[in-house]
């Protein structure tokens, strides 16, 4: 456990905003992480767990906040046979390095989630997903320090109540993820059936096809890069938290209130549909590249759903733009957009 003199949180987040915290503790083992969190609970002071910082927006004044940085590393193969592999991955490991490793070694189930920044331990928090896959489809169990019991326990996936970009962890379950166990499949170098029309159309294959794992990864990285959704120093449109709002889920009946050309996706429960938040924003009169007068926060040039820091924006500017978008979309479409990133200190 290293106590560093706190650097501004802007340096630890992909949105590049946030002031200097009161303290910063870097934990390199699960035991250090659990100890730091238990200490923080005992001290009864505000604290925040931070890993890759790609889904967190800190306020400009964070001088009262203690930050616990998850920097644990390690992967352990629990079991393997001809059809699948069970692997436990420490929370601080890079998610995309895990995906890349799985693809190289012929393990299927996470290939369409290539290029998502951040850590393995944060993936259960919002049930990370993309291009038709979600981590809840492959998580079997999680080692978790639970505030309710003050114990480190191995919890089954069902304990976390995963749903679209949501889980009990996002909804108030307090604790810290130590490791996540995934079940990946061996399908002869092929992917699981692709549940993303964007991927299958891109390669000219029917929806639901199994494609070579490396091809899926390459296509997803290409599609994501074209939208500024891969963090790259040379892409100013990737200085963001990815999508700033979740796609709203509404009853199918509500579709009658929208123009026929609006974008939406069917849900497993046929009574509901998921609307495109990007479409709602652009069709509320807020174009890509938009910014408020004098502000250094803007909508990405490549994707209406991403708010970016164009260089030196304050956290206040980011949140002002988010509120403006929420108000315009509510006024035009009667829909409340819910922010996807964790907004801390606002």
Ligand X SMILES: Cc1cc2nc3c(=O)[nH]c(=O)nc-3n(C[C@H](O)[C@H](O)[C@H](O)COP(=O)(O)OP(=O)(O)OC[C@H]3O[C@@H](n4cnc5c(N)ncnc54)[C@H](O)[C@@H]3O)c2cc1C
Instruction: Return residues touching ligand X (CB under 6 A).
Output: 14, 48-56, 70, 91, 116-119, 121-123, 125-126, 128-130, 176-177, 229, 231, 238, 240-242, 342
Q: Which is nearer to ligand X, 126 or 314 (CB)?
A: 126
CA angle in degrees (0–180, nearest 5) for 199-202-107: 40
Minimum CB distance to ligand X, residue 248 (Å) = 16
Q: Which is nearer to ligand X, 11 or 327 (CB)?
A: 11
Pairing of strands 56-58, 23-27: unpaired
Minimum CB distance to ligand X, residue 24 (Å) = 13
Q: Cβ(78)–Cβ(59) under 8 Å?
A: no
Minimum CB distance to ligand X, residue 194 (Å) = 16
16 membership: H or E segment, kind and range: none
Buried (b) or exposed (e) across 269-308, using 16+ Cβ within 10 A? eeeebbbbbbbbbbbbebebebbeeebbbbbbbbbbbbbb
The catalytic residues are 165, 243, 340
Q: Which is nearer to ligand X, 189 or 289 (CB)?
A: 289
Residues 6+ apart with CB under 8 A from 227: 300, 302, 303, 306
Q: How far apart are the C-alpha atoms of 173 and 167, rounded to whole Å?
A: 9
The residue nearest ligand X at its CB is 118
CB atoms within 10 A of CB 257: 11
User: Counting beta carbons within 10 angstroms of the beta carbon of residue 332, is it exposed (0 to 12), middle (13 to 18) or buried (19 or more)?
Assistant: middle
Q: Which is nearer to ligand X, 48 or 200 (CB)?
A: 48
Q: Which of 302, 336, 344 is nearest to 319 (CA)?
A: 344
- Residue 199: left if φ>0, alpha if ψ -120 to 50, beta else—which one? alpha
Residues 6+ apart with CB under 8 A from 197: 207
Q: How far apart are the C-alpha atoms of 13 and 216, rounded to whole Å?
A: 28
Q: Which is nearer to ligand X, 21 or 129 (CB)?
A: 129
Q: Cβ(150)–Cβ(175) under 8 Å?
A: no
Minimum CB distance to ligand X, residue 143 (Å) = 10
Cα–Cα distances (Å) from 288 to 35, 279, 328, in that order, read: 45, 11, 15
Minimum CB distance to ligand X, residue 197 (Å) = 16
Minimum CB distance to ligand X, residue 106 (Å) = 23
Minimum CB distance to ligand X, residue 244 (Å) = 10
Q: Considering all CA atoms of the chain, what is the largest pairwise distance in Å, rounded to the nearest integer?
A: 59
Residue whose tokens read 């931070």: 50
């Amino acid at each position: 456990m290293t106590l560093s003199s706190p650097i501004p949180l802007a340096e630890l987040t992909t949105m590049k905003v946030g002031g200097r915290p009161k303290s910063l503790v870097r934990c390199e083992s699960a035991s250090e992480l659990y100890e730091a969190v238990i200490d923080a609970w005992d001290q009864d002071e505000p604290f925040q767990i931070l890993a890759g910082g790609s889904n967190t927006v800190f306020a400009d004044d964070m001088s009262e906040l203690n930050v616990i940085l998850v920097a644990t590393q390690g992967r352990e193969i629990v079991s393997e046979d001809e059809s699948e592999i069970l692997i436990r991955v420490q929370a601080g490991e890079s998610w995309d390095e895990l995906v890349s490793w799985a693809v190289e070694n012929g393990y299927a189930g996470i290939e369409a989630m290539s290029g998502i920044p951040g850590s393995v331990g944060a993936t259960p928090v919002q049930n990370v997903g993309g291009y038709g896959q979600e981590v809840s489809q492959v998580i079997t169990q999680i080692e978790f320090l639970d505030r309710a019991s003050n114990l480190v326990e191995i919890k089954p996936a069902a304990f976390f109540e995963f749903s679209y970009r949501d889980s009990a962890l996002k909804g108030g379950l307090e604790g810290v993820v130590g490791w996540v166990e995934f079940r990946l499949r061996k399908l002869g170098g092929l992917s699981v059936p692709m549940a993303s029309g964007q991927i299958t159309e891109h390669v000219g294959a029917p929806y639901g096809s199994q494609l070579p794992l490396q091809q899926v990864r390459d296509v997803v990285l290409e599609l994501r890069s074209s939208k500024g959704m891969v963090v790259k120093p040379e892409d100013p449109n990737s200085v963001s938290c990815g999508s700033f709002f979740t796609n709203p889920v509404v009853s199918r009946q509500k579709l009658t209130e929208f123009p026929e050309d609006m974008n939406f996706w069917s849900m497993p429960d046929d009574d509901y549909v998921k609307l495109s938040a990007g479409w709602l924003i652009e069709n509320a009169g807020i174009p890509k590249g938009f910014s408020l007068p004098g502000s250094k926060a803007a909508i990405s040039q490549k994707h209406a759903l991403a708010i970016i820091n164009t260089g030196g924006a304050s956290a206040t500017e980011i949140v002002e733009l988010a509120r403006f978008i929420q108000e315009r979309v509510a006024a035009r479409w009667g829909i409340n957009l819910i922010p996807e990133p964790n907004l801390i200190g606002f």
